[in-house]
Amino acid sequence: MSEDEIARVVVDAAYRIHTTLGPGLVESVYETVLAHELMKRGLAVSRQVPVTIRYQGVELEGASRLT
């Protein structure tokens, strides 16, 4: 699947979620539902992936997360 095709799938899923659930829910709800929608559509999904940050020569594991 090309990057453009993946982008179309993600935008379509996000639009469907927005029109179904509407605004105002906490972010974790949208994250969970988006992951579900993307997996239904055949995409591999990883959530809250820890990222190591280097600060002043020290590696701080899990200091940030990719969502």
Q: d(Cα 59, Cα 53) in Å, to the nearest integer?
A: 6
Region 13-31 average pLDDT: 96
Q: Residue 9: is it exposed, middle or buried by C-beta count within 10 angstroms (0-12/13-18/19+)?
A: middle
User: Who contacts 35 (Cβ-Cβ below 8 Å, separation ≥6)?
Assistant: 45, 47
- The per-residue pLDDT for 32 is 97
Domain carrying residue 60: 3-66
Number of domains in the chain: 1
pLDDT digits (tens, 9 = 90+) for 47-57: 999 999 999 99
β-bridge mates for residue 49, sequence order: 66
Q: How many CB atoms lie within 10 A of CB 38?
A: 17
pTM exceeding the 0.75 threshold for the entire prediction: yes
